[in-house]
Amino acid sequence: MTKACPAPARMWASDMRALLACALALTATAAPAQELMTPEDFDIWSSGHTLDYFIDGTYWGSEAHFPGHATTDQVDNECRNGSWTPQDGAICFEYDAEGPFCWNFWRDGDTVTAKTTDAPEGTPYAVTLSDTPLNCPGPDVGV
Structural domain includes residue 24: no
Distances (CA, A) of 108 to 11, 13, 35, 49, 101: 37, 36, 6, 19, 23
More confident: 129 or 26: 129
Lowest mean pLDDT among 19-23, 38-42, 135-139: 19-23
54 within 8 A of 75, measured Cβ to Cβ:
no
Is 81 a domain residue? yes
For residue 18, being part of any structural domain is answered with no
- Residues 89 and 105: their CA atoms lie apart, in Å, by 10
Kindly report whether the global pTM for this prediction surpasses the value 0.85. no
Confirm whether 63 is domain-assigned. yes
Q: How many CB atoms lie within 10 A of CB 46?
A: 23
- For residue 4, tell me if it sits in a domain: no
Residue 107 domain-assigned?
Answer: yes
Decide if 27 is inside a domain. no
In a domain, 20, yes or no: no
Instruction: Check the CA dihedral 85-91-94-98 and report its sign.
Output: negative
pLDDT confidence of residue 64: 95
Of 11 and 76, the structure prediction assigns the larger pLDDT to 76
Instruction: Please give the angle made by the CA atoms of 126, 41 and 96, to the nearest 5 degrees.
Output: 70
Could you tell me the residue range of the domain that residue 70 belongs to? 35-130
Cα 106 to Cα 82, 83, 93: the distances in Å are 22, 20, 17
Domain holding 77: CATH number?
2.40.128.270
Query: 82 near 97, Cβ under 8 Å?
Result: no
Please report the pLDDT score of residue 104 as a whole number: 96
Per the structure, the count of domains in the chain is: 1
